[in-house]
Amino acid sequence: MVIDTLRADHLPFYGYPLRTAPNLARLAEEGVLFRRAHSTSSYTAPATASILTSLRPSRHGVLVGLWAAAQEQREVDRIADRVETMAEAFAAAGYTTFAVTDNVNVSRAAGFDQGFHYFRNLRDRGAEAVNRQVLAWRQELGAAEPWFLYLHYMDPHKPYRRREPWYASYRPGGGDWRVAAYDSEIAFVDARIGELRRELGWDERTLVVVTSDHGEELMDRTRMGHGQTLYAEVLDVPLVLWGPPGWAGRREDARVSTLDILPTLVELLGLRQSPDHEGRSLLAPGERPPALAHVRKPVPDRSRELRALIRGDWKLVLHDTGERELYDLAADPGERSNAAEREPERGAAMRREIEALGAGPAEAARTRVEITPELAEHLRSLGYGE
């Protein structure tokens, strides 16, 4: 399951002081927790496409979502038919595949329905609506074993709703109401996940993955939202794997990517391996490949593009203007001190690596989607265009 806009450091099992997610904490205690997991983008469409394909945005071709495409007056990126998705891999292995997504960008138009026998997009109706749709399929799920279920919860994405009783307890002495509301949304979706666990009766036959497409800026650098930068607050996401025998209580400190989720499921469940996957199974021993990220945001007269590479404890953010930001994550986890001038050789080597790995898509696919006034207003309500 993907919990949209959920940054890792607002969860108690990543060190947050508030008890925002007791049900997810239980999953983390009973499963394996990856302490340093990174997304491939700070935008929903490219990041989610990477989870479902194990391909970087420059390979699967989904670089922007509906709002950005509308601003650039071009067709919407979609996952190409030639690309095998997670759902297609499960369907080929005999699974019945289900998906409920609550983000308008994770839609049929963008190709996210590829491989799903049952697919519903709810457009920010909330975690309760997601659960209702899943439980409406209870009969189909019962008759379909084995089955694969993809859930994309929209909470805690903008607009931050003040969910009670959590909001009042998270803001007893004032402070930024938006952060308290964001945290209350985490608690709200966490409660709904706990309910779904009880309703579906997860047992030893169940494998659960919990992650996010990206995080959220909460005035860390005077900004709110996402899709603007590639700093830790938007790239560091939770990753929990629950269910594999012998994995209970494990804690992994290696840097991993959301690209690694699909290859891991393929290995755990004995599905057909794909040579196209760019991620690496989380079960595989040895040194991990670098984590890569990309975001493309429309600005007046052109698009602004950022790319990032994380290798070990070093991170390089490369702007399309040529500007470089280099961070020593061991000494500077908050990414505040640009070491590019102090470490020119390291920065140059990492830049060459980004450029070698960052070639454009071999075959981008696009489709026309009408951005009606109603859809445009819905996108604005979610914070797009700010």
Q: Is residue 312 part of a domain?
A: no
Cα–Cα distance, 188 to 314 (Å, whole number):
35
Q: Is residue 206 part of a domain?
A: yes
Residue 172 CB neighbours (<10 A): 8
Amino acid at 161: R
- pLDDT means per 10 residues, the chain with 386 residues, are 97 96 97 97 94 92 72 74 94 97 90 95 93 96 92 94 93 82 97 97 93 96 90 98 86 96 96 93 90 80 82 95 95 96 96 80 60 67 66
Give how many domains the chain has, as a whole number: 1
Q: Is residue 348 part of a domain?
A: no
What pLDDT is recorded for position 297? Answer: 75
Q: Are strands 76-78 and 365-367 parallel, antiparallel or unpaired?
A: antiparallel
Three-state DSSP class for 319?
strand
Torsion on CA atoms 263, 106, 25, 147, rounded to nearest 10: -60
**Tokens 């089955």 sit at which residue?**
147
Q: Is residue 102 part of a domain?
A: yes
Specify whether the CB–CB gap between 39 and 48 falls below 8 A.
Answer: no
Phi, psi (5° rounding) for residue 25?
Answer: -60, -40
What pLDDT is recorded for position 77? Answer: 83
**Tokens 């709904």 sit at which residue?**
192
Q: Is residue 322 part of a domain?
A: no
The contacts of residue 104 (CB under 8 Å, 6+ apart) are 66, 121, 123, 124, 375, 378, 379, 382
Q: Is residue 327 part of a domain?
A: no
Specify whether the CB–CB gap between 209 and 241 falls below 8 A.
Answer: yes
Please state the length of the chain. Answer: 386
What pLDDT is recorded for position 110? Answer: 86
Specify whether the CB–CB gap between 220 and 233 falls below 8 A.
Answer: yes
Q: Is residue 311 part of a domain?
A: no
Look up the domain containing 150 and give its range. Answer: 2-289
Helices (H), the chain: 22-30, 44-53, 57-60, 66-71, 86-92, 127-136, 138-143, 166-170, 177-200, 232-235, 261-269, 344-357, 373-381
Whichever domain contains 118, its CATH number is 3.40.720.10
What pLDDT is recorded for position 71? Answer: 62
What pLDDT is recorded for position 47? Answer: 96
**Minimal CA–CA distance to 213: which of 49, 13, 23, 333?**
49
pTM of the predicted model as reported, rounded to 2 decimal places: 0.93
Beta-bridge partners for 324: 318
Q: Is residue 113 part of a domain?
A: yes
